[in-house]
Amino acid sequence: MVEESKKGLIVFQDKAIRRTWFNDEWWFSVVDIVGALTESDRARKYWSDLKNRLTDEGFELSAKIGQLKLVSADGKSYLTDCVNTKNAFKVIQSILIFV
């Protein structure tokens, strides 16, 4: 049995947010965070626009965003933009300002 704290999925306002344990910390799917907070049906496009905005603000994406394999809806694993908890707050803050 998998401990609740080690599961790779959390739910926020009925939206699934994928996560993975990497380098002794949780990393979360940015697209899932965007989808949960914006309720956008185009979360990937929203994330693309937000990445440009964050870069313009001086947020070093290459140092803060990791490409980690997460299981997708089709059951396959794909490289996905992920952030650790600390950087998730910056992304969330930017989304809330951008909305």
According to the model, what pLDDT value does residue 3 have?
A: 40
Tell me which residue has tokens 């908890």. 85
CATH fold for domain 4-98: Mlu1-box Binding Protein; DNA-binding Domain (3.10.260)
According to the model, what pLDDT value does residue 11 have?
A: 65
Domain ranges of the chain: 4-98
The 8-class DSSP code of residue 3 comes to: -
Give the CA count within 13 Å in the CB-facing half-sphere of 53: 15
Summarize pLDDT for 61-70 with one digit per residue, the tens.
Answer: 878 899 999 9
Rounded to a whole number of angstroms, the distance between the first and last alpha carbons of the chain is 40
For the entire predicted model, the pTM comes to 0.82
What average pLDDT does the chain have? Answer: 84
How much is the average pLDDT of 1-14? 54
Of 25, 98, 97, whose CA–CA distance to 66 is shortest?
25
Summarize pLDDT for 13-62 with one digit per residue, the tens.
Answer: 677 899 999 999 999 999 999 999 987 889 999 999 998 888 888 878 87
